[in-house]
Chains A and B, each alone.
Chain A
Amino acid sequence: MIELKSVSKSFGTMVALHETDLCLEAGKTTALIGPSGCGKSTILRLIIGLLEPTTGTITIEGHRVSAAEILTLRRRIGYVIQEGGLFAHLTAGQNVLLMAKHLKRPLGEMQTRLGELCELTHFPEKALSRYPVELSGGQRQRVSLMRALMLQPSVLLLDEPLGALDPMVRTRLQDDLKEIFQSLQQTTLLVTHDMAEAGFLASRIVLLNEGRVVQSGTLDDLRTRPASDFVRDFLHAQRGLTEV
């Protein structure tokens, strides 16, 4: 379970996130959605400690996110970003294994895990020896996902993981992600700006605007009982969704 209590974040006079309380249920997938600059990525970066909150506290499974604990916490969190953030000097396999090797995990265990991950993410094992520049955009995201899952984290954070992919690849990866979320049952937080993707992958949707949570619930809740004109307009703007 991840809990944000009275968490806010300002950069100088600019408020990125107003005081927010948010609770993410263990084992469930939650989607953060909203227009650009609404504060959704800020929440993700606060949870993994890349940003420090201006006020409030964040706890992950009872452990407070703090400088002293951050390394331990980060090793229990998988983090995937839009462009993958792969390290260009390492092969796909080396990217996935980097952290496990750093922690001196047994070699056999690492190899077995790598095989499992390839199967789980539908990544061809023979492509593990390729460098990031030799992979397609979709393959890079699969490698990034494998890297995030390598240490069997209890929390998975995904920041627009499919944002830069073309529609065909994107749909295929959405199917794969759904399968993975269902089989792993981790506490997952997905940032996206695509309501259909949010509805497809997440059991709960949190809609943000201008640094505040506007409404949270299932896609159906948002569609049938919008809390404000903004919610209605935001759903309407997602072409095709209202006709479903």
Chain B
Amino acid sequence: MKSLSILLTVLAFCSTAQPQPIMVGSKRFTESYILGEIAKTALRNAGFTVEHKQGMGGTIILWQALVGGDIALYPEYTGTISQEILKTKQPLSTDEIRGLLREKGVGMTGELGFDNTYALVMQRDRADKLSIHKINDLREHPELNVGLTHEFLDRQDGWAPLSARYALQMRNVRGIDHALGYAALANGSIDVKDAYSTDARIAENNLIVLDDDLHFFPQYKAVFLYRLGTDARAVTALEKLAGTLDTARMTRLNAEAERTKNYALAAAVYFGKKPEPVAGQLAGKILRWTWQHLQLVGASLFLAIIVGIPLGIRASRPGPISDFILSATGVIQTIPSLALLALLVPLPFFGIGPVTAIFALFLYSLLPIVRNTATGLQDIATAVRESAAALGLEPQAQLWKVFLPLASRTILAGVKTSAIINVGTATLAALIGVGGLGEPIISGLNLNDYSTILQGAIPAAVLALLVQFFFDGLELVFIPRGLRLKQR
């Protein structure tokens, strides 16, 4: 039923929403959230219906969503556009960038004003003690621990070319989430990390930006990228934002968002208005997230059951097809959730939305169900198997009347495992704007705010326990009494 209601919601979205709202996307960090909110407000003021899908992922996911038409616009940086999207070696002028983007059906607004370049930061007292002020100074300290965001580690204007340019020989370099990196810097587990120059936490945490004395980092001027088909009045409204945000103002907005934990409020501050009162109390929000979460889990689990049990039945017979089914479902399990989403989002039917989240969760739910169904059936004793055949039951009847009921305990255990894992994994849905209990967890991570993280993490844990109790109860219904009795 849950799955049905989600499907209906999806269909309703597709067919009845007239006029189509303009979809604004943003990346997974505070500044991008705020710029997304600013664009949303500007377009709304111009009379459009707007939706903001917050924190959808990194550059590739956002770009694919833009080109694929899932979103109409998102904030981006000129350096990222030339290095990551257009993949050019030499620096390009703004006009050159605009020309190359047009060929891909994408337009670019004028620069918003501030330059958010990458920077390397350290704790001020630690840097002073080691007398490190420039990136060049790191050459004398190859023993320092460097913790970088995964994106920076892989970027063409990221760590590898930076170390080559400065001839750095750092021995300890590892990838760490951006928000967690600040905590790691504060407690000394890392000494150096990457940051954005407008990041409010640089001032807040008393960090220093290491001077880019060889001018390695390209300029990262903020702009909005939009699909060329977008309403001209909407583009005009966005263009009005150009040149209105200098570095100081952006840093202040970032600080405001982190202090109040409210991106919409920061956007409102930009427009010089008093913020709207916060809608909904905490309990209401948690209920809404939990309900969305349950719908995701329910729909994906339902699909996994109706697909996984037949697959498991097939996989219980020996042979290459069974080996393939079991290895394929196993391999799916090893794909990290972010990578799976990044693979699904650009595909035609998927994009950003509940369908993609449900499909990803469905894939992750398959393994325990398929494997337990296969094992449960294989474990039925030969004597019982042959008795069923010798009675003269057709193979189908043997399966339905004898084998499946006998394997029911193992099969249900697989479904239960899937359901519990699914409750945890469903937090990934928030990455593509579908909501659920992942929403507070991810924004809490970005804001480095534990109480927000717990608003999602605690209900998720409680939900996992409830799901377990629910299935314990279900065993009484689904597992025949004869299998629950102890041997005399």
Contacts and interface: CB of A to CB of B under 8 A. Distances in A.
Interface string B371-393: 00000000000011011111111
Contact of A102 (B393, B408, B481, B482): B393
A23 interface: no
Contacts, number: 75
B488 interface: yes
A99 B488 contact: no
A81 interface: yes
A89 to B, nearest CB: 4
Contacts of B390: 48, 50, 74, 77, 79, 85
A132 B488 CA distance: 9
A48 B388 CA distance: 12
A50 B386 contact: yes
Interface string B389-427: 111111001000110011010000000000000000000
B212 to A, nearest CB: 72
A88 interface: yes
A87 B402 contact: yes
A133 interface: yes
B399 to A, nearest CB: 13
A131 interface: yes
A98 B400 CA distance: 12
A99 B402 CA distance: 11
Most buried by B among A74, A88, A131: A88
Contacts of B391: 74-75, 79, 98-99, 147
Question: How many of chain A's residues touch chain B, expressed as a range?
Answer: 20 to 34
Given A74-B392, A89-B482, A91-B482, A79 B488 contact: no
A44 to B, nearest CB: 10
Contacts of A133: 482, 485-488
A87 B384 CA distance: 7
B405 A99 contact: no
Given A88-B482, A91-B482, A102-B397, A134 B488 contact: yes
A214 interface: no
B483 interface: yes
B384 to A, nearest CB: 6
Contacts of B384: 85-88
A18 B162 CA distance: 80
Nearest to A157: B390
A195 to B, nearest CB: 25
Interface residues of B, number: 25
Contact residues of B: prevailing secondary structure:
helix
B480 interface: yes
B196 to A, nearest CB: 62
Given A81-B386, A87-B384, A89-B405, A99 B482 contact: no
Interface in B429-488: 480-483, 485-488
A81 B406 contact: no
A83 interface: yes
B483 A83 contact: no
A87 B383 contact: no
Nearest to A132: B482
A90 interface: yes
A236 B488 CA distance: 38
Contact of A75 (B392, B405, B488): B392
B482 A131 contact: yes
Nearest to A91: B482
A88 B383 contact: no
Contacts of B485: 131, 133-134
A89 B406 contact: yes
Interface string A117-135: 0000000000000011111
B387 A81 contact: yes
Contacts of B487: 133
Contacts of B386: 45, 50, 81, 85
Contacts of A147: 391
A237 interface: no
Given A71-B394, A98-B401, A102-B397, A87 B481 contact: no
A85 B390 CA distance: 10
A116 to B, nearest CB: 19
A89 B483 contact: yes
A90 B408 CA distance: 13
A98 B482 CA distance: 15
Contact of B482 (A45, A75, A85, A90): A90
A72 B394 CA distance: 10
A79 B482 contact: no
B406 A99 contact: no
Most buried by A among B390, B394, B486, B488: B390
Interface in A120-171: 131-136, 147
A127 to B, nearest CB: 12
A136 B488 CA distance: 8
Contacts of A135: 488
A73 B384 CA distance: 19
A148 B483 CA distance: 23
A50 B482 contact: no
Contacts of B393: 98-99, 102
B480 A85 contact: no
Contacts of B486: 133
Contacts of A79: 387, 390-391
Nearest to A82: B383
Contacts of A75: 391-392
Interface of B: 383-384, 386-394, 397, 401-402, 405-406, 408, 480-483, 485-488
Given A82-B383, A99-B392, 19 more contacts: A74-B391, A74-B392, A79-B387, A79-B390, A85-B384, A85-B390, A86-B384, A89-B402, A89-B480, A89-B483, A90-B482, A102-B393, A102-B401, A133-B482, A133-B485, A133-B486, A133-B487, A136-B488, A147-B391
Closest 5 CB pairs of A and B: A85-B387, A74-B392, A131-B482, A89-B480, A75-B392
17 contacts: A50-B389, A50-B390, A71-B394, A72-B392, A75-B392, A79-B387, A85-B383, A86-B387, A87-B388, A88-B483, A89-B402, A89-B405, A90-B482, A102-B397, A133-B486, A133-B487, A147-B391
